[in-house]
Chains A and B, each alone.
Chain A
Amino acid sequence: MSVGSQSPQMTRTANGDEVVIITHEDVDRAHDRVRVSAARAQHGFLSRARLLWLLVGPGVLVMLGENDGPSMLSYAATGAKFGIGFFIPFVALTFCMAIVVQEMTVRLGAATHRGHAELIFDRFGPFWGWFSMIDLAIGNFLTLITEFIAIRAGLGFFGVRPWVAILIALVILYSALMSHRYWTWERITLAAAAFNLVFIPVALMTHPDWHSVGHALLTWQPLPGFNKDTLLIVLADIGATVTPWMLFFQQSATVDKGMTTKDIRFGRFDTVLGAALATAAAVATILATAPLLAHGMTADNFQAAEFAQALQPLVGRFGASLFALGMVEAGIVAAITISTSSAYAFGEVTHKPHSLNLPMGEGKSFYGVLSLCAVAAAAIVLIPGLPLVYVVLIVNVVAVLAMPPALVFLFMLVNDKEVMGDLVNPLWANILSSGVVFLLTGAGVLFGISIIAPSIFAALGGK
C-alpha cells in the first residue's frame, strides 16, 4: 500500500461513533466522477470517446499552456533567425521530452492524490521543500510577467491600450474561476487554449516549402552554426517545452480532477494529445516566421508585436491579426494555468484548502494567492519604462536552468516504492528521464561556459 492510501479523516463523536468529514469540494468532485463511472461502465466506441472527453484536460492544458508568450516568441525568433531546418525536428524532440516528464506527474498524482509541492515538503522535509518552492515562485512570477507582456503586445496590434488589454486578460482569468468548479474552469480554459492552433492557418498562408520541411524532419538539416546565439535559442526552445511549473500544475490538476490509478492510461493519452497539439502550433509558428529570415528579426522584436507587423505584407491583415491573437491567447491561457499552479503549490505546502471546486468563502487563501500573483504581474507590466524585454529574453533560459533540480525531486518520488506502490517508474522511464536531466544540465553548463569562459567555448567549437 502506498503512503497516499490512508484512511479517510475519521473523528469520534461524544457517544463513540466514527464520522467521516465530507466537504463541499468532495461533493463537487464526486459529481464529476459520476459521469466518469457511467462512461466506464458502458462498452463501445462512443462510450470510450466520452470517457476520453471526460478525462482529458490537465495534459492538454499544461502543454498548450506552455506554448505561452515567451515560448511563441522563441519559436517566432527561431523561424525568423534560422528558417526551416534543424529546429523543426528539435522542437518535436523537446515535446517528446515533455511527454516523458509529464507522464510521471500523472502517475504520481493518480497514485497519491497529492500535489507535487505537498509531496516534496512532506517526504523530503521543509528545507528542500522551500528551495523547491522558491524556484517555483520566482520562475512562475517572472513567467507571469511575460504573459501579460504578450497580451499587451498582441492586443496592441489592434490599437488596444495597455491598461485595457491587461484588464481584459484579468476579466477572462476571473471568468474562468467564477464557477468555482474544476470541471467548468477546465473546459473554459481548454476552449481558450484551442486558439493556440491559430498559428497553423498563419503558417499555411505563408505557403511553406513542404519539401524543405520534410527534408528538415528527416535529416535535421540545415544545421545552425554553433555559436552563442544558437545556444540561446536552443535553451529558449527547450525552456519553451519543459519547465518546473508544468510538473506542479499537471500533478495538482490531476488530483483536483479526481483522477485515480484507473485513469492513468487516459492521463497518458491526454499528455500525448496535448504535446501533439502544442508541437503543431510551435512548428507552425516557426514556419510562419521562416519567411522573415532576411528581416533580421530577433526576440527583441516583441513588445510592440513586431512579428505580426512584419508578417502583414506576407499574410495580409487577417493573417497578421491571427498571429497577434495567437500571442494574446498564449498569454491568457498561460496566465490562468501558471497563477493556478502557484495557488495550488501554496495551498499544498501550507495544508490550506486548495481546489478549483472550493467556494470563495472556503478557498480564500487559494483564490487570494491566485489573484495576488496575477494582479501583481499585470501591474508590473503597466509600469512605464521598465526594461521588461530582458525578462522575456531570459525567462525560458531560467526555466531550463531550474528544471534539473525539480526533475530530481520528481525522479526520487516516482521511484519511491512507499509513495508509488506498484506504479514506481519502470526502467525505461528512468533511462529516458535521466537522459532529459543530463541533456538539460549539459545545455545549461554549455550556456554558462559560453558566457563566462568564451575561450573554452571557442575551444569546444563555438563561435
Chain B
Amino acid sequence: MVKKDHAQVVISNSDQKLVLSLLEHDQLARAKKHFIPRRHLKGPELLVLWALRIYLLFMMAVVGYQVWIAVR
C-alpha cells in the first residue's frame, strides 16, 4: 500500500508505480529522515582534525592581519 505525501499533494497510482519502480529505496525523500549511524573518531583522526582546525583558525587570523595592514 502506498500513502500519499502528508502535504496532501495528489499522487496518482501511475506516479506511485513509477516512483517505486525507478527510484532506489534510499532515494525516497522520506527515507532520508533516517540518521546514518555515528562513527566514533579515533586518536589519529582526531589529531588530524584538530591540527587542521588550529591551522585554519591561525591562517584566518593571518588573513585578517593582512587585510588590517592593507586597510591602514
| Interface window among A119-127, A151-159, A213-221, A265-273 | A119-127
A1-44 vs B: 1/0 string, CB under 8 Å? 00111111101010001111111111101110110010000000
> Using Cβ atoms and an 8 Å threshold, which residues of chain A touch B70?
390, 393
| Residues of chain B contacted by A33 (CB below 8 angstroms) | 22-23
- Let me know if B37 is at the binding interface, CB within 8 A: yes
Least CB distance, B59 to chain A, in whole angstroms: 4
Complex: A258 Cα to B19 Cα, angstroms? 11
For A26, give its contact among B29, B34, B52 (CB under 8 Å). B29
Q: Which residues of B are found within 8 Å of A6, using beta-carbon distances?
A: 25-26, 31, 34
Asked if A351 contacts B3 (CB within 8 A), the reply is: no
- Of A11, A17, A123, A390, which is within 8 A of B39 by CB? A123
A394 near B2 with CB under 8 A, answer: no
Asked whether A114 lies within 8 Å of B32 as measured between CB atoms, the reply is yes
Complex interface: chain B residues within 8 A of A447 (CB): 59, 62
Interface residue range, chain B: 35 or more
Q: Mark A355-385, 1 if CB is under 8 A from B, else 0.
A: 1000101100000000000000000000000
B12 to chain A, nearest CB (A): 9
In B43-68, which residues have CB < 8 Å from any A CB? 45, 48-49, 52-53, 55-56, 58-60, 62-63, 65-67
> A179 to nearest B CB, angstroms?
16
Q: State which of B5, B25, B37 has its C-beta within 8 Å of the C-beta of A8.
A: B25
Contact A394 B67 (CB under 8 A): yes
CB distance from B16 to the nearest CB of A (A): 6
> Which residues of chain A are within 8 angstroms of B32 by Cβ–Cβ distance?
113-114, 118, 351
Shortest B56–chain A CB gap in Å is: 6
Q: Bound state CA distance, A394 and B67, in angstroms?
A: 8
Judge whether B1 and A13 touch: CB under 8 Å: yes
In the complex, the chain B residue whose C-beta lies closest to that of A15 is: B1
Query: In the bound complex, do residue A9 and residue B36 qualify as a contact, i.e. CB atoms below 8 Å apart?
Result: no
Task: Identify the A interface with B (CB < 8 A).
Answer: 3-9, 11, 13, 17-27, 29-31, 33-34, 37, 112-114, 118-119, 122-125, 128, 131, 135, 258, 260, 351, 353, 355, 359, 361-362, 387, 390, 393-394, 397-398, 401-402, 404-405, 408, 412, 416, 418-419, 441, 444-445, 447-448, 451-452
